[in-house]
A and B are shown apart, each in its own frame.
Chain A
Amino acid sequence: MTSEQPLLEVDDLHVRYSTNGGDVYAVNGVSFSIDTGINYGLAGESGSGKSTVAEAILGLLPENGAIDRGEIRFKGENLLELSAAERRDVLWEKIAYIPQSAMDSLDPVMTTGDQIRQAIEKHRNVSETNARERVRELFDMVGLDPDRTEEYPHEFSGGMRQRVTIAMALALEPDLIIADEPTTGLDAIIQDKILDTMLDIQAQIDSSLLLITHEIGVIAETCAELSLLYGGKVMEQGSVDNVLINPTNPYTMGLKNSFPEIEGGDSPVSIPGSPPNLSRAPSACAFTERCPFSTEECEQSHPDLMELPNRNHRSACHHVEQAAQMRRDATEPETWGVAVEAENEPETGDVILEADNLRTWYEQSQSLVSKLRGKDPTYVRAVDGVSLSVRRSEILGIAGESGCGKSTLGETMALLTTPTDGELVFDGVPYEQYRDGNMKEFRRKLQIIFQDPFDSLNPRQPVRKLVGEPLTIHDYRTDERTAAITETLETVGLPTTTSFLDQHPHELSGGQRQRVAIARALVLDPDFLICDEPASMLDVSLKVNLLNLLRRLADTEDIGIIYISHDLASLAEVSDRLAIMYLGRIVEQGAVDSVIQQSKHPYTNSLLSAAPEKDPSVERQRVLLEGKPPTPVDLPDGCVFAPRCPKATTECHSAEPAADAAGDENHLAACYFPDSEHDPISAEDSSTGTESVSD
């Protein structure tokens, strides 16, 4: 099958960054090849060098990054030998790129349509009208409203911006699309739909895809082959079916274990320890410090990738012949030196935060002309009557599609936005009292962690300053600053070396940035945490670490936590109670097991069915939702979900169901016709006989 020339070959690639604190050996001999028409996955923990490989292929390495060795051949041509101008011609025309952080990747002062048009006009000699037409077509293709091409990036939600970058990548129908975490940070439904669109179009235009992600589930569903990176080395490589079902490398086994599942009985087990030290080229097996099967041999040299007989499967491990035995042991948490904590009943304390009928409405932006004419503004009802309460030691999960108002709710509860209406009580004190002069106290006690790590970190400050700054502002633990910083960095699993403390945000990997943002919040020992998608940029093992960390904070420090996410698997893992949000309202809320296993609201059902399945042999049943949520401006009467609800009746269209229309006080749903009998998960139960880790 490999008789024809591969589309892309990466051969023994070495990339090194030079920083003030010394060199970083980010990629240390990576080789793989992608055949025409193949979807190829690149996975691995944060900092394993995935993005660096992508940037090397695209010629986008920052100035301090250098390719020390290796070749990158595209259709047989070595890209590294091309001149700058020749290289530019290859970019986008042949190889397009979907960047990791769509939030910051669009030019803020250029309309989204123009940015796509720019890509087209740069490479094709087309008239402006035709280019515009093409942009509209692309918008339509990726599910954006073609009439919104004249809008600026900040008018789009995260998911929509990601669609813009995808539209841009598809514009010239390239041979290869390199997508760096294209759906990370998007909610499950949108992720599902975007992947769907992407694969669909990609199949139509017959291009290959290099998909970089830490979500093994996504790779399992979309790719035919993959490579797993660790410490800049390929640990295991081959066809997705072989590698994920029968891993032969301890690293893959560990990664698979740490992938949380919505309805997995076992808690996920993360690989203990921290990522390898990259300040020198690895001389031992890169994974040896964290590998439970490590022997003396492993200390001597990094194992070569070895071809396993008779299948498309390669593994770099000295003990690959014992794979079957290791696979068995790897499912036991004890193997990884992780004590299994007895599932202790959550002891929740007093109510610490309570919201009653909270509303936040935004005035919609108008054109300059209508502003001057004084037209009455319309309002976006981002949060529209939310009531909830959180106790100490309790984690409340809030789930929902992007644009449903989750983030606004978080910001409102953190008083970053003033509520339009309703009540909010924190620690027994209504929010008005904090607002009138006690903001500082409030800001120390209640911390919010944002979705977008890059936006919230000052690019000019080193890690030391970033984490220490809150201490200065709040005059907290100033006499033991260094100790406080070090402790917190350790808590979030970051290195505490001087060189790391001196690094600036742009020198960190996506996951490292997010953890710095988390450390900034934790350094003040808050009473309450609001986490807005804190883990969306993190790879599985870090995500599990973070979830465990939050759980521990809730249990031992008695703090209350609100965890906002679209990732139901993580939410199910970490929360005590779960609230499902749709169009500014909470449509279902209750104890987490009850909501997941006996979901009542039709919307919750469709959310549950959109989560990807990490086992490639399992076919997932999707309940794809038609359309997207309407903009919360002119809402129809009746149930807000009615336009998309498969069960809607005339009754649903005439009056809105109250938040407690169904269920009891432990589990409420705003629906006239709740699903009560059937278990929505049973249709896709994963125990279908294949060798799966969660047995």
Chain B
Amino acid sequence: MSDFRRFIAKRLTVSALLTLVSVTIIFFVLRLLPGSPFETLITTGNLSPEQAEEVFALYGLDKPLWQQYLVYLKNLLTFQFGYSILQSRPVWAILGPKLANTLILLVPALVTTAVVSTAVGMYAGWNRGSTAETTSIAVTTFLRSTPVFITAIFLLIAFSYTLGWVPAFGMRRVTATPNGLLDTYLSIDFLHHYLLPFTVTVLYYSGDFLLLARNGVVEKKGSEFLKLHRAKGLTENEQLVRAGRNSLLPVVTYFALRLGMIFQGLILLEVVFGWDGIGRALVLAIEQQDYPLVQAAVFIMALAVIVMNLVSDVLCAYLDPTVTANGGAA
């Protein structure tokens, strides 16, 4: 087996193990929590203890823990997430749309901020010590360290309540009943609701990319190869592009990792804007101890992080010719 294959195989194995560990942890943590998903139903009298027993058996919850665990693993591996206990609908039918809602908001926002903030960061790094640099760093650091819901509320007050430009809440008009994908996500109405949460997300993530890109360029700035580029007669901007290309690696890695993490949603943001995303769904499901729902959600999130980790490794190897597959520099 060649080194490269070995490298891929190794990464895959590690990824698989990590996934296993995370789904195992969530399985046991859920079971160890006090109470059961039927507590509320029983106490409110909607479910008699006998009926509860029945449903319990139906979901296999009366079996010994290890058997449940094995079944659970088997189901995850075959992507059969089962039925929600409380909503009696397939888990996927519940989570799918919420995940889509989250991704449709966060992915474009992340891509936008990655491109724009990285470019600004590189420019700032190149013009080290300029007002452009200091201001951009101050502003984005401020945005990054302020909790996202505060920024959100602030913008809501400004653009929604005061100026009335955009609606304050939800993903679409209450009366809207879209059918079909196009209708759901491509209407003017949706765009209207989309703008503010999108902007907040862009601002929130901008600081990381800006700093990473700026630091990279600052570090490259005095380097000998840029001097030779300069000697060749490249303009400032052309030199900046080369410095940028040379400091792209951490930015791309970070982007891939972030992309994995947004499968968790941005809970606070979803709450403030009434955005029906996966973050809210997860919190709700944990509260209700809806095991299948929580397990599936956590599995998807863990998988996303792990897959994007793998992607970022491969990207690195692709972007940096000196990184060999076995991890060292040639």
Closest CB in chain A relative to B200 CB, distance in Å: 34
Across-interface contacts of A152 in B (CB, < 8 A): 321-322
B246 at the binding interface (Cβ < 8 Å): yes
B324 on interface, CB distance cutoff 8 Å: yes
**A131, B223: Cα distance in complex, Å:** 27
Q: Which of A71-79, A91-99, A599-607 contacts B (4 or more CB under 8 A)?
A: A91-99
Interfacial residues of chain A within 241-287, with CB under 8 A of chain B in the complex? none
Residue of B nearest to A108 (CB): B322
- CB pair A108 B229 closer than 8 Å: no
Does A454 make an interface contact (CB < 8 A)? yes
Q: A104-B223, A374-B2 are in contact. Are A99 and B231 (CB under 8 A)?
A: yes
**A478 close to chain B: CB less than 8 A:** no
* Interface presence of B242 (CB below 8 A): yes
- Of the listed stretches A117-125, A519-527, A538-546, A578-586, chain B binds A117-125
- The reply to whether the CB of B54 lies closer than 8 angstroms to some CB of chain A is no
Q: Which of A155-206 contact B (CB under 8 A)?
A: 155, 165, 168
Most buried by A among B223, B227, B228: B228
Which of chain B's residues 292-330 have a Cβ closer than 8 Å to chain A? 319-322, 324-325, 329-330
Residues B211-241 near A (CB distance < 8 A): 219, 222-225, 227-235
Chain A 87-107: CB-based contact to B (< 8 A → 1; otherwise 0): 011011100110111001111
Q: Does B63 contact A (CB under 8 A)?
A: no
A209, B127: Cα distance in complex, Å = 34
Find out whether the CB atom of B222 lies under 8 angstroms from the CB atom of A459.
Answer: yes
Assembly CA distance A662 to B229 (angstroms): 51
Q: Is the CB of A377 within 8 A of B232?
A: no
Nearest-Cβ distance from residue A609 to partner chain B, whole angstroms? 33
Binds B, one of A21-29, A364-372, A494-502: A364-372
Within 8 A of B (CB), among A346-377: 363, 365-366, 368, 370-372, 374-377
Within 8 Å of chain B (Cβ to Cβ): is A109?
A: yes
With beta carbons under 8 angstroms apart, the residue of A92, A100, A110 that contacts B233 is A92
Size of chain A's interface in residues, with CB distance under 8 A? 44
Closest Cβ–Cβ distance, residue A15 to chain B (whole Å): 16
Interface centre among A97, A101, A371, A454 (most CB of B within 10 A): A371
**A97 vs B225: C-alpha distance when bound (angstroms):** 12
**A628 in contact (CB, < 8 A):** no
Q: Which residues of B contact A165 (CB under 8 A)?
A: 228
Known: A109-B246, A371-B2. A123 touches B233 (CB 8 A): yes
B246 touches A107 (CB 8 A): yes
| Distance between B35 CB and nearest chain A CB, rounded to angstroms | 50
Cross-chain contact B3 with A97 (CB below 8 angstroms): no
Residues of chain A within 8 A (CB-CB) of B231 are: 58, 60, 91-92, 96-97, 99
Q: How far is the CA of A58 from the CA of B233 in the complex (A)?
A: 10
* Chain A residues, Cβ within 8 Å of B330: 154-155, 365
Complex interface bits, B50-80 against A, C-beta within 8 A gives 1, otherwise 0: 0000000000000000000000000000000
Instruction: Judge if B33 is at the interface, Cβ distance under 8 Å.
Output: no
CB distance from B216 to the nearest CB of A (A): 12
Chain A residues with CB under 8 Å of B223's CB are 104
Given the interface contacts A99-B231, A122-B234, A154-B329, does A105 sit within 8 Å of B322 by beta carbon? no
**A297 to B103, alpha carbons, bound, how many Å?**
81
Q: Contacts A88-B235, A109-B246, A374-B5 given: A506-B222 contact, CB under 8 Å? A: yes
The answer, yes or no, to whether B4 is at the interface (CB within 8 Å) is yes
Within 8 A of A (CB), among B1-54: 1-5
Q: A375–B235 contact, CB under 8 A?
A: no
CB distance from A608 to the nearest CB of B (A): 33
A62 within 8 A of B: yes
The closest CB in chain B to the CB of A454 belongs to B224
Q: Contact between B230 and A60 (Cβ–Cβ < 8 Å)?
A: yes
> Given the complex of chains A and B, what is the CA–CA distance between A610 and B102 in angstroms?
70
A454 to B330, CA, bound (A): 17
* A117-144 Cβ-contact flags toward B at 8 Å (1 or 0): 0110011000000000000000000000
Which 4 residue pairs across A and B have the least CB separation, nearest first?
A371-B4, A104-B224, A91-B233, A152-B321
Given A105-B228, A107-B228, A365-B330, output 6 extra A-B contacts at Cβ < 8 Å: A60-B231, A88-B234, A92-B233, A101-B224, A105-B224, A118-B234
B residues within 8 Å of A by Cβ?
Answer: 1-5, 219, 222-225, 227-235, 242, 245-246, 319-322, 324-325, 329-330
Residues of A within 8 A of B (CB): 58, 60, 62, 88-89, 91-93, 96-97, 99-101, 104-110, 118-119, 122-123, 152, 154-155, 165, 168, 363, 365-366, 368, 370-372, 374-377, 454, 459-460, 506
> Can you report 25 residue pairs joining A to B where beta carbons are below 8 Å apart?
A58-B231, A60-B227, A60-B231, A62-B222, A88-B234, A88-B235, A93-B233, A100-B224, A105-B227, A107-B225, A109-B319, A109-B320, A118-B232, A152-B321, A152-B322, A154-B321, A154-B330, A165-B228, A168-B228, A366-B2, A371-B2, A371-B4, A371-B325, A376-B2, A459-B222
